[in-house]
Amino acid sequence: MSKPLEGVRVADFTMHAAGPFCAHVLSLLGAEVIKVESAMRLDIFRRPHPVYGRMDVSPFEQVAANKLSVTLNLKEPRAVELAKRLVAISDLAIESFRPGVMERLGLGYEELSRVKPEIVMLSISAFGQTGLDRSYPGYAPLFGAAGGLGYLTGYSDGPPVEIRHVMDHSVGMTGAFAALAALLRRRYDGRGQHVDLAACEVASALIGDALVAAAFGEEPARCGNASETMAPHNVYPCRGTDAWLSIAVSNEAEWRALASVMGRTELAADPRFRTCEDRLKNVAVLDEIVAAWTSSRDADDAARELQALGISAVPSWNAAQLANDVHLRARGTIVDLEVDGAPRAVVGSLVRFSKSSCGLRSGTPALGEHNDYVFGDLLGISRDKRRLLERERVIY
Amino acid sequence: MTGALAGLRVLERSSGAAAAYAGRLFAVCGADVTLVEPPGGTQLRREPPFVPNAAEPSALFTYLAAGKSSSVCDLATAAGRAGFDAMLATTDVLFDDTPVGERAALGLDPQRIARDFPAVVFVSILPFGAFGPRADWRATELGSLHSGGEGYLTPNGLAIERHPDRPPVKIYGQFANFQGGTAAATAAIAALIARPREKGQFVDVSVQDANVTESAIALQRWADGVLETRATRSFRYGGVLECQDGEIEVLTLEQHQWEALVQLSGESGWADSGDFDDSLERSRRGAEINRHLRAWAKRNRVDEVVRRGRELGVPIVRYASPGEVLGDVRARARGLFANVTLADETAFPVLLAPFQFSATPAALRSAPPKLDERRREPAHV
């Protein structure tokens, strides 16, 4: 089976997490993604990350698997010319520098569209390509904070919460959608265009409902795990260390079923808990009752028992549990990839298609691993010329 | 100018936020999206948060359904299924979150759709997908967040320091479902791009898969031999800082950013000794750095430190409330919001889209539809 984006080529000028994840999603869907990087300034995953507590380099399959790697020192005019030639044979160019950097490099949209008028270019930045804050830098927790998602996340009596890598990757996934929408449009009108994606606006899009409420004068606030319409609705301790089960009861039948499973059928008739409204009023006591039941149980066993009764009960799985999860393995979502002779659990595919395949071909490329293929086979630069450009730190 | 997806026709059967968000992404890009609702309307019309005094009480439904039309089809009846099929005949994409076990009886069996409507891209969006041992499991937003790994890891930083024994806390709203919806919309376009080669096809999207993919750095860390937890995942220093009048986020990953932060907060001289010049040393002594930063922040006001920090090049922002986001001059100038008018003529801003196309701008063409309010447009792609 072919991949849905087979034949689509992406020139990937991104760094850190949001942009690289965007290009990674496209690669999972079958695009040929050429990551442009440089020994002059290594990708953050190719060097230690002390603020994060990672003191070593890491394979970074979660944003780099499947990609081809080329090295270009974009401070060199000849490298910029090579980058333009790469864009000329690509369908999409993606970048995540601060606004203005690509222009200074001679690789802004105006210039690239002269090189290839039908190019679709996606620019990912913290605050967008226009506006007062365009030049400010940002990382995932700042996107979440500025966009409102961090403010609304947290315990009702606690501080706001940093939204971490999923914030970056949510930006990247949204970027993949927008880039493909522009690419699909091009199929019909033949025109390229520039797509401007602001990471903090992705965070705001994730609180779009709260923004509607605010527009009507409401003041949405942090509410922990509470729901306005469901009780029980919380995360409860289970047997073992740091083991938890999320339970969400959405109607009276589910509540009666839960009470029965807990061996507390009398609770269904208890006036404190009879209706959802009653349970919401007495949610603190209710949570204690449910926690007393879950705390002696294995989270997976309890989830299976409750799911059989139609109750949304899902364990709070950690990475080790997900890596070995039977369901995810059956779907091909998690696969083992051989890295340095040993298997590593990685995300193998994002979605399943009935007629197309989707997923991994290879792991994280070595820095410049595909220089010969891209500059030689695709761009037709002779071996001797490539070696010269390497010696002169253009291909570097 | 029309939207990037103008001319595409989409049917959306959604009882949850994931499928509805996929439909929303198509709608703001110009696709003609019809929400196919059961008699009485989709469950989403009754989901929080609520705006009690508005003509449309569910803020979630308003956000997700603006720009769409509505058609009531009772798929439990032959007439309803016939009406649905008539719409499918001119449809490009079907988003559907009907549980697998209920599909056949409603005429939504993927084989039947593929046989009768071979050009349709049928995108199934379910908490655990349409295939696999847990395909029949249910999950609300809370469950989906925990199914993908991020639930286990939230909160971190100051919140977990303050409340180390509390259960994990969910990310606001429909975060996990929106990731599933974005993955579904992305996969739908990929299938449309492949359509000249493959015709229509069935696309099986799992909200869990989307969230596992997005939280895969924890998987990567585990493969490196480190199992991340809420406590160990925190940044070594910086993060949420409480000022006199609100909170800020500060994160310095580069040396020059750290030096700018020292300049910003160094009035007391705590960092003058040079002890923290080395990034590895800073990582080891993060708690000590945080004591200084937190004391400094407490003495200052948000606007002032954000303004000065930005002048110096410190990555620093305010934790903005929804009201502050709504009133943000920058966001308004960028056209982040579009005005929508409800049936009672109440006009209000709704977030349009987090992306801007230079040639095919996004748009919200209408308010959320009343039940069975049809506005289907002719296809022209």
Measured in angstroms, the CA of B28 and the nearest CA of chain A are apart by 11
pLDDT at B241 exceeding the cut of 50: yes
How high is the pLDDT of residue B380?
44
How high is the pLDDT of residue B275?
79
On chain A, the residues whose CB falls within 8 A of the CB of B159 are: 154-155, 158-161
Coil vs helix vs strand at A254: helix
- Alpha carbon dihedral A318, A321, A323, A325, in 10-degree steps, equals -130
Identify which of B48, B62, B223 has the shortest CB distance to residue A345: B223
How high is the pLDDT of residue A61?
81
**Is the Cβ pair A328, B208 closer than 8 Å?**
yes
| B143, amino acid identity | G
A positions 339-368 inside 8 Å of B (CB): 344-347, 349-356
**Is the Cβ pair A137, B313 closer than 8 Å?**
yes
Which has the minimum average pLDDT: A60-69, A318-327, B81-90, B371-380? B371-380
On chain A, the residues whose CB falls within 8 A of the CB of B350 are: 208, 211-212, 215
Alpha-carbon distance A112 to B377, whole Å?
36
pLDDT at A277 exceeding the cut of 90: yes
Task: Give pLDDT tens digits for B12-61.
Answer: 999 999 999 999 999 999 999 999 999 999 999 999 999 988 888 999 99
CATH number for the domain whose boundaries are B9-215+333-351? 3.40.50.10540
Between the alpha carbon of residue A395 and those of residues A75, A351, B301, B335, the distances in Å are 11, 36, 48, 41
Measured in angstroms, the CA of A9 and the nearest CA of chain B are apart by 13
pLDDT at A165 exceeding the cut of 60: yes
How high is the pLDDT of residue B267?
63
How much is the CA Rg of chain A, to the nearest whole Å? Answer: 25
On chain B, the residues whose CB falls within 8 A of the CB of A360 are: none
pLDDT at B227 exceeding the cut of 80: yes
A124 at B interface, C-beta within 8 A:
no
**Is the Cβ pair B146, A4 closer than 8 Å?**
no
Identify which of A152, A225, A347 has the shortest CB distance to residue B167: A225
**Is the Cβ pair B357, A193 closer than 8 Å?**
yes
A131 at B interface, C-beta within 8 A:
yes
How high is the pLDDT of residue B268?
60
Strand-pair partners of B349: B339
For an interface test with B, give the residue of A329, A351, A358 to mutate (most B CBs within 10 A).
Answer: A351
Q: What is the DSSP string of A313-339?
A: EEE---HHHHHT-HHHHHHTSEEEEEE
Strand-pair partners of A233: A248
Region A349-369: what's the mean pLDDT?
A: 93
Identify which of B48, B219, B334 has the shortest CB distance to residue A228: B48
Identify which of B63, B137, B381 has the shortest CB distance to residue A212: B63
Which CATH number is B239-325's, of 3.60.15.10, 3.40.309.10, 3.30.1540.10, 1.10.150.20? 3.30.1540.10
Phi, psi of B337 (to 5 degrees): -115, 150
How high is the pLDDT of residue B273?
73
Region B252-263: what's the mean pLDDT?
A: 92
Map out the domains of chain A with their CATH numbers.
Answer: 9-207+366-391 (3.40.50.10540), 225-356 (3.30.1540.10)
pLDDT band at B344 (very low <50, low <70, confident <90, very high): confident
Alpha-carbon distance B354 to B37, whole Å?
27
Find out whether A16 and A24 touch, Cβ atoms under 8 Å.
no
Alpha-carbon distance A331 to B284, whole Å?
41
Region B115-143: what's the mean pLDDT?
A: 98
Region B208-224: what's the mean pLDDT?
A: 94
Q: What is the DSSP string of B337-356?
A: EEEEE-TT--EEEEE--SEE
What is the percentage of chain A residues whose pLDDT exceeds 70?
97
Structure tokens at B381: 């792609």
Between the alpha carbon of residue A330 and those of residues A20, A302, A394, the distances in Å are 27, 22, 45
pLDDT band at B127 (very low <50, low <70, confident <90, very high): very high
**Is the Cβ pair A346, B330 closer than 8 Å?**
no
pLDDT band at B381 (very low <50, low <70, confident <90, very high): very low
**Is the Cβ pair A346, B219 closer than 8 Å?**
yes
- Nearest-by-CA chain B residue for A330: B132
Region A172-176: what's the mean pLDDT?
A: 98
On chain B, the residues whose CB falls within 8 A of the CB of A6 are: 194
Helices (H), B71-174: 78-88, 100-103, 110-116, 141-147, 158-162
CA B2 to chain centre: 24
The β-bridge relationship of strands B316-318 and B246-250 is: antiparallel
What is the percentage of chain B residues whose pLDDT exceeds 70?
97
For an interface test with B, give the residue of A295, A309, A314, A364 to mutate (most B CBs within 10 A).
Answer: A314
For an interface test with B, give the residue of A56, A207, A290 to mutate (most B CBs within 10 A).
Answer: A207
Task: Give pLDDT tens digits for A37-71.
Answer: 999 888 877 877 776 666 666 668 888 889 999 99
On chain B, the residues whose CB falls within 8 A of the CB of A327 are: 128, 132-134, 208
Between the alpha carbon of residue B83 and those of residues A8, A278, B11, B71, B98, the distances in Å are 38, 41, 12, 10, 18
On chain B, the residues whose CB falls within 8 A of the CB of A315 are: 146
Residue boundaries of the structural domains of chain B:
9-215+333-351, 239-325
How high is the pLDDT of residue B106?
98
Task: Give pLDDT tens digits for A91-150.
Answer: 999 999 999 999 999 999 999 999 999 999 999 999 999 998 898 888 999 999 999 999
Measured in angstroms, the CA of B110 and the nearest CA of chain A are apart by 10
The β-bridge relationship of strands A32-37 and B337-341 is: unpaired
Kindly give, in sequence order, each residue whose CB lies less than 8 Å from that of residue B98, ignoring residues fewer than 6 positions away: B13, B15, B106, B108
pTM, full prediction: 0.97
Region A342-351: what's the mean pLDDT?
A: 93
How high is the pLDDT of residue B1?
59
* Total residue length of chain B: 381
